[in-house]
Structure 1
């Protein structure tokens, strides 16, 4: 017969005993805060929020991985706690009660987003990568023209408009119909009561005359090439393209040299 092995009772370490005593003191303090709040002392709830908000934020952030959502969950936790503290029986500690509320809200939010596949996307305020503080929002291209582009486009458009006003009325009208209003040759011929071939020749003559006027007012127009001052991923405004096509299809002049 094998003799039973007697093991001495495990004596808790001083650190474990200290933690247990601290937990008891915390639970007693929380119970006192709950009693004060239920007695009408709102400052007790303010202290509850200050004691546990950071911890609840960590719980929500660990599941949702999104700080904005985690902060909202933490706020909702204390809204529900404020409504439900009158029914808090104290079967568990206040910390455990708040933890369960936060966890349930976080899980509901997680599955709500999961069903809508938000887990497969990233928010615009998320960092591009580790060690890089730039966000995805900063990488989104902006369609708004820069100040150089606005100034150059406005100046060139003003010059074209001025040169157009110097053309004879008939040439100005037919060029406006074709290059500004973008009507077809057949529509122009019907509008002006002329043949299609006549409309084409008059438009060509008007473009030639406009180019001569632009060459005098805008010397850089003779060696025209694409705008190098524009960002390569952005197109010049449609109106500028149509006006420049009237005198040199496919080319846009450089900004004037100062």
Structure 2
């Protein structure tokens, strides 16, 4: 994965240079009682976005994010430094989401069932609001196997590169591409009516998002 260019960390209100995520994590490990709280403040919104889009349920997403940060807090010493802290956190929250999906033992939906769902639940022509589109996409994602859903959320909805998504999911880039391709193929019958709707382009974050350390 190509590393993003180095960006100077931001300065705090006093004009001092703010600590990087890695520095904060080190301070947390060394006993600084406030360091991890700063990490949470920096990353909770994006962690929430990933969890919500992956799980499609606000309560489940909140619990997954909480589980992820508790796990990160307790296992900070396991951070090896071979990836950005941001990538490490994303990996933990995605795994927390996948664990929740697997515990529910959701059976993957067959292709013919997806087609039947598309024909049965085709929305009315006047349903054009962005929120309605977002709800349709979220509902469709719930029909996918967990691994395909996670890959599509990161790449297509959150805008991460395939390489960054691979780092988060801890799989080869080719696996991410394959999961995305299979997921898109299964979603096509359900979401084909949205193909020419401009609202669909506003459901996801802008392309080109990268994982960066603060």
Taking structure 2 as the reference length, what is the TM-score of the superposition?
A: 0.42
TM-score (norm 1): 0.36
